[in-house]
C-alpha cells in the first residue's frame, strides 16, 4: 500500500511571461557584443577627428575591456544579493548614459574616461543574463534559452561588422563616428521600459551584505593580471608587465585567504569557494578559458592577415566576417533541435566542425600565399561559424549545469570573467606567435606562414578544450545512467 499526503504541496507555476522578460534581459548581451565590435571599426575615424595617439586608441578599447573584466564578479554577486532585475536596470541605465557621453566626447581623454565608465556599468548588467537563465528555466527550456543567447551574439556580431561600417561610412548628419554610440541609446531606453513591467525580481534566498573587501582585493588582482596581458605585447613586454603578473599571483593568494577567514567568521564571501569544488563547473571554466582564447585570437590574427597580408579594406573585412556571424546565428537557432537528438554531444559536434574549419585555414593560405582571393575563405568562415554557434552556448550551459540558484550571479560573473581573461590571453599569446613569423619587410607569403602558425596553436587550444569537454560529458552520462537505475529501484 502507498501512503498519500492529504495536503499535497502545490506546484509553483512558471511565469507565463518569462520568455518576454528574458528577451528584454538579452539586450545586455546584444549591446555588449555590438559595442565591442562596432568601436573597433570606427577607430581610424575617431583617431582622425579627435587627434588621438596610438596609446589613447588602445585605451579606448582596453580601458573598456579592463573595467568590464575587473567588475564582472562583483556585478554578478550584487545581482545575487540585491536583485538581478535591479542590477540589470541600473547597469542598462548607466550603459545608456555612458554611450550618450561617449557620443558627445570632445577629446580623446573624455572618450577614454567615458569608455571606462561604460565598462563598469556593463559589468553590472551582463552577468544577469546567465544568472537569469539559471533561475528562470530548467531542462529543455534552459537549452532553448542558451540557444537564444547564441543567436543574439550572432546578431550582435553581424550588426557590429556590417552596421558599424555603414554608420561610419555614411557620416549621418555629419556626425562621423558618433552614431556608433548613439545607436545604443534607443535600445537602452526601450529595454529599461520593458524590464520595468515584464521582468520579475529574483535574488539569493538568504541575501547578506556585499563582501566589499573581497571585491576590492579581487578587482586589484584581476587588474594586475589582465593589464599586462592586454598591453604587454603592444609595449614590447616591459618589466612592469611581468612585475604586475607576479603581483597578481600574490594578491590571488591573499584573496583566497581573506575569503576563507570571512567564511570562518560566518560572513558572506564574494565568491563561495565551494563553487570550485563542483567538478563540472571547474572543468567547464578551464574549457572556456581554452576555447575563448582560441576564438579571440582567431578573429584578431585573421583580421590582421586580411588587412596587411592581402590588402583588404576594412569594409570588405566586415563583409567577409559577416559569413561567420550569419552561420553562428543559424547554428545557435538550430542547436535546440540538435540537442534534443544527440544531447550534450552537440558540444563535441560543434568543436569538431570548428577544427575542420581551422585545418582548412591552415592549409589554404600556405597553398595560395598572396594569390589567395580573400572572399574565397567566406565558405570556410561559414563552416567555422556553424561550429561556434553549436559549441559556445552549450559549453556555457554545461559549465553552469550543476550550479544552484543561490550562487547563479557569482557563478555567471566568474564565467564572464574567464571569458574576458581568455580574450586578452588569446590575443596576446597567439598574437605573439603570429607576429614572430612576420619580418620587418614582410611579403604576402610571410603573412601566410604567420596565419598558419597562429591557427595551428588555435587548433591545439580547441582540441585541448574538446578533451576536457569529453570528460565532462562522460561524467554526465554516467550520472544520468545512475539516476535512471535509481528511478527503476524506487518504482519497484
Whether 356 maps to a domain, the answer reads: yes
Does 1 map to a domain? Answer: no
Report CA torsion sign: 399, 404, 408, 413: negative
351 plus 255 within the same structural domain: no
pLDDT at 189: 95
Nearest residue to 30 via CA among 92, 105, 79: 92
559589468: which residue's cell?
A: 123
Q: What is the pLDDT of residue 92?
A: 95
**Pair 393, 371 in one domain:** yes
Query: Residue 144 contacts by C-beta under 8 Å, 6 or more apart in sequence?
Result: 137, 336
Question: What grid cell was written down for 471?
Answer: 570528460
Q: Above 80 in pLDDT, residue 5?
A: no
Same domain, 233 and 376: no
The distance in angstroms from the start CA to the end CA of the chain is 13
| 454 shares its domain with 425 | yes
- Structural domains in the chain (count): 3
Tell me whether residue 244 is in a domain.
Answer: yes
Report CA Rg, the chain. 23
Backbone angles phi, psi at 368, to 5 degrees: -105, -25
pLDDT in tens, 352-362: 999 998 899 88
Structural contact between residues 465 and 361, judged by C-beta atoms closer than 8 angstroms = no
Q: Which of 366 and 139 is assigned the larger pLDDT? A: 366
Of the three residues 209, 226, 254, the one that is the final residue of a domain is 209
253 and 353 belong to one structural domain: no
Q: Which pLDDT score is estimated for 478? A: 64
Alpha-carbon gap, residue 318 to 485, rounded angstroms? 52
Q: Are residues 399 and 438 in the same domain?
A: yes
**Cβ(1)–Cβ(123) under 8 Å?**
no
Cβ(474)–Cβ(482) under 8 Å? no
pLDDT, residue 487, reads 40
Chain centre to alpha carbon of residue 402: 20
Say yes or no to pLDDT of 294 above 90: no
Is pLDDT larger for residue 1 or for residue 380? 380
Could you report the per-residue pLDDT of 78-122, keeping only the tens digit for each?
Answer: 888 888 999 999 999 999 999 999 999 999 889 989 999 999 999
430 and 411 assigned to the same domain: yes
The sign of the CA dihedral 436, 439, 440, 446 is negative
Cα–Cα distance, 284 to 275 (Å, whole number): 12
Report residue 257 as a C-alpha cell. Answer: 585567504
Percent of the chain with pLDDT over 90: 17
Which H helix or E strand runs over 116?
helix 108-125
CB atoms within 10 A of CB 406: 17
pLDDT level of residue 383 (50, 70, 90 thresholds): very high
Q: Which of 209, 229, 261 is the last residue of a domain?
A: 209
Element (H, E) at 233: none
Pick the residue with more confidence: 4 or 60?
A: 60
Does residue 312 sit in the same domain as residue 217?
Answer: no
Single residue among 221, 244, 269 that ends a domain in this structure: 269
Residue 477 has pLDDT above 80, yes or no: no
Give the pLDDT confidence score for residue 6 in this predicted structure.
42
For 392, the domain range is: 277-476
For residues 227 and 148, state if they share a domain. Answer: no
> Residue 206 has what pLDDT?
64
For residue 488, being part of any structural domain is answered with: no
Looking at residue 1, its pLDDT comes to 37
- d(CA 411, CA 434) in angstroms, rounded, equals 33
Is 486 a member of any domain?
no
How many helical (H) and strand (E) elements, i.e. helices and strands, does the chain have? 17, 0
Please report, rounded to a whole number, the percentage of residues in the chain having pLDDT higher than 70: 91
- For residues 417-422, give the mean pLDDT: 84
In a domain? residue 490 = no
Q: How far apart are alpha carbons 224 and 247 in whole angstroms? A: 7
CB 24: neighbour CB atoms within 10 A?
A: 23
Q: Are residue 199 and residue 100 in the same domain, yes or no?
A: yes
**354 shares a domain with 295:** yes
What is the per-residue pLDDT for 191? Answer: 94
Asked, for residue 2, whether it belongs to a domain, the answer is no
Shared domain check, 333 and 361: yes
Residue 206 DSSP class? S
Which of 146-150, 156-160, 460-464, 470-474 is the most confident on average? 460-464
Q: What is d(CA 33, CA 157) in angstroms, rounded to the nearest whole number?
A: 6
Look at residue 492 and tell me if it is in a domain. Answer: no
Q: Residues 423-441: what's their mean pLDDT?
A: 83
For 202, which DSSP code?
-
CATH of the domain at 66: 1.20.1250.20
Q: Cβ contacts of residue 302 below 8 Å, gap of 6+? A: 361, 451
Amino acid at each position: 500500500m502507498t501512503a498519500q499526503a492529504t495536503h499535497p504541496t502545490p506546484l509553483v507555476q512558471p511565469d507565463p511571461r518569462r520568455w518576454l522578460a528574458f528577451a528584454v534581459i538579452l539586450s545586455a548581451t546584444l549591446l555588449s557584443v555590438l559595442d565591442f565590435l562596432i568601436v573597433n571599426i570606427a577607430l581610424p575615424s575617431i583617431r582622425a577627428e579627435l587627434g588621438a595617439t596610438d596609446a589613447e586608441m588602445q585605451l579606448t578599447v582596453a580601458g573598456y575591456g579592463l573595467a568590464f573584466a575587473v567588475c564582472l564578479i562583483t556585478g554578478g554577486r550584487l545581482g545575487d544579493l540585491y536583485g538581478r532585475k535591479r542590477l540589470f536596470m541600473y547597469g542598462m541605465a548607466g550603459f545608456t548614459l555612458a554611450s550618450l557621453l561617449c557620443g558627445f566626447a570632445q577629446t580623446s581623454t573624455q572618450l577614454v574616461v567615458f569608455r571606462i565608465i561604460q565598462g563598469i556599468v556593463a559589468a553590472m548588467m551582463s552577468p544577469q543574463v546567465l544568472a537569469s537563465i539559471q533561475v528562470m528555466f530548467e531542462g529543455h527550456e534552459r537549452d532553448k534559452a542558451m540557444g537564444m543567447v547564441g543567436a543574439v551574439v550572432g546578431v550582435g556580431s553581424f550588426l557590429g561588422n556590417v552596421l558599424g561600417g555603414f554608420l561610419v561610412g555614411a557620416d549621418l548628419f555629419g556626425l562621423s563616428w558618433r552614431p556608433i554610440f548613439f545607436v545604443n541609446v534607443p535600445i537602452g531606453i526601450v529595454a529599461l521600459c520593458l524590464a520595468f513591467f515584464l521582468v520579475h525580481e529574483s535574488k539569493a534566498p538568504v541575501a547578506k551584505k556585499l563582501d566589499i573587501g573581497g571585491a576590492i582585493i579581487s578587482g586589484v588582482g584581476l587588474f594586475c593580471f589582465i593589464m599586462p596581458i592586454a598591453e604587454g605585447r603592444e609595449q614590447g613586454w616591459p618589466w612592469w608587465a611581468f612585475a604586475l603578473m607576479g603581483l597578481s599571483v600574490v594578491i590571488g593568494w591573499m584573496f583566497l585567504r581573506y575569503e576563507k577567514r570571512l567564511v570562518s567568521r560566518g560572513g558572506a564571501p564574494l565568491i563561495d569557494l565551494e563553487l570550485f569544488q563542483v567538478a563540472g563547473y571547474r572543468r567547464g571554466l578551464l574549457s572556456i578559458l581554452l576555447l575563448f582564447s582560441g576564438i579571440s585570437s582567431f578573429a584578431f590574427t585573421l583580421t590582421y592577415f586580411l588587412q596587411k597580408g592581402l590588402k583588404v579594406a576594412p569594409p570588405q573585412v566586415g563583409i567577409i566576417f559577416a559569413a561567420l556571424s550569419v552561420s553562428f546565428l543559424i547554428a545557435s537557432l538550430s542547436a535546440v533541435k540538435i540537442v534534443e537528438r544527440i544531447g550534450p554531444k552537440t558540444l563535441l559536434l560543434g568543436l569538431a566542425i570548428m577544427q575542420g574549419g581551422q585545418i582548412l585555414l591552415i592549409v589554404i593560405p600556405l597553398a595560395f600565399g598572396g594569390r589567395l582571393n580573400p572572399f574565397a575563405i567566406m565558405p570556410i568562415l561559414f563552416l567555422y561559424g556553424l561550429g561556434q554557434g553549436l559549441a559556445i552556448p552549450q559549453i556555457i550551459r554545461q559549465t553552469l549545469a550543476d550550479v544552484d540558484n543561490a550562487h547563479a550571479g557569482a557563478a555567471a560573473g566568474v564565467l564572464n570573467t574567464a571569458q574576458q581573461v581568455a580574450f586578452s590571453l588569446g590575443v596576446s599569446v597567439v598574437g605573439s606567435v603570429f607576429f614572430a613569423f612576420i619580418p620587418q619587410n614582410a611579403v604576402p607569403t610571410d603573412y601566410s606562414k604567420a596565419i598558419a602558425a597562429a591557427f595551428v596553436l588555435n587548433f591545439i587550444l580547441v582540441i585541448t578544450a574538446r578533451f576536457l569537454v569529453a570528460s565532462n560529458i562522460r561524467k554526465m552520462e554516467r550520472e544520468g545512467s545512475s539516476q535512471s537505475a535509481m528511478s527503476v529501484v524506487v518504482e519497484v
